[in-house]
Amino acid sequence: MATVETAVNDRMLRTGFAAAAKGTPSHAYIIEGEDEQILRSLSDYFIKLLLCETNDACGKCLSCRFLAEGGHPDLIRVTPEKPGVIRVDDIREGLVGDMGIRPYRSRYKIYVVEHAEWMNVQAQNALLKTLEEPPSYGVILLLSCNTEALLPTIISRSIRLKAMSGGHGWERIPEEDRYRLGRIFSGIKGADTAGVNAAAEQLANEYAGPDQVLGGVRTWIRDVMVLKLSGAEDRTVIREALPALRSAAKDYTWKQINDILEMTDTAEERISSGVNTAWQYELLLERMR
Ligand SMILES: [Zn+2]
């Protein structure tokens, strides 16, 4: 089901991929989301960008034609022997053992692991060794519907790209609260520790609950991503905070954006299991600072 929101996010991801393909891609990406179909189409697009001779998914060059015909010598799909679990031998044979061989015709050699959450611990440890010292041309794409099943050490060495779906409830927040939220988020960049603490207390005491605050953070970051990738101000949601969004889009790195989204998920889990709300907001705001 492709909602407008999904489509927007897919487009953002695609643009992000294009930037990565033109610059220097990282060695590992976790492309995560709920819909396998979307993950596959996003990763196929990324692969095309990386392998295309013009870095533009032109569809005409020899690399693009190889891909269209179903195979490229520098694209390896790691397929498990049995569905449901990816074992250490699958990773050794499909990835670790092959990565030492240089690419045939492209700048990169790409390994795709679908259902990365199927990897058992031994398989993940084998992958981890490669992630610790990858050759310059190696790019690993892990497609995952359940990133929590991956070792923290794998996650920390990868760039996480979320194919988000669904809205974040910004439209359900009362208008005056939206305005204040926007002001708090705008003020957090460059705030000192006391400022962060005060803002966290304010969020915890003056808002209806984590749905509003965390939904607000997600919407804020979504807007930052829109501006960072396309500069399209008419596609932002929090219009009232445009100047602050513009400067956040300049300041935040992709790494920081991923950290913030990750911390938002963590805060949501912890708050629902009873951990002190203001403290979680503080940790989150620390990352936005
Ligand atoms: Zn091409």
Q: What is the pLDDT of residues 224-263, one digit of tens each?
A: 877 776 677 877 788 878 888 898 888 887 778 878 888 9
118-135 pLDDT, tens per residue?
999 999 999 999 999 999
Q: Which whole-number Å values give the CA distances from 117 to 91, 112, 124, 163, 195, in the listed order?
A: 13, 13, 9, 16, 39
Q: Give domain 4-162's CATH superfamily.
A: P-loop containing nucleotide triphosphate hydrolases (3.40.50.300)
Distance from Cα 69 to the centre of ligand 1, integer Å? 13
Please give the CATH topology (third level) of the domain spanning 170-288: Zinc Finger, Delta Prime; domain 3 (1.20.272)
Q: What pTM did the predictor assign?
A: 0.62
Distance from Cα 289 to the centre of ligand 1, integer Å? 40
Q: CA–CA separation, 130 vs 170, rounded Å?
A: 41
Helix (H, G, I), strand (E, B) or coil at 28: strand
Distance from Cα 98 to the centre of ligand 1, integer Å? 24
Q: Where in the chain is the domain with CATH 3.40.50.300?
A: 4-162
Q: CA–CA separation, 141 vs 52, rounded Å?
A: 17
Distance from Cα 10 to the centre of ligand 1, integer Å? 21
Least confident range of 10-14, 59-63, 164-168: 164-168
Q: Where in the chain is the domain with CATH 1.20.272?
A: 170-288
Q: What residues contact residue 13 under an 8 Å CB cut-off, 6+ apart?
A: 31, 42, 161, 163
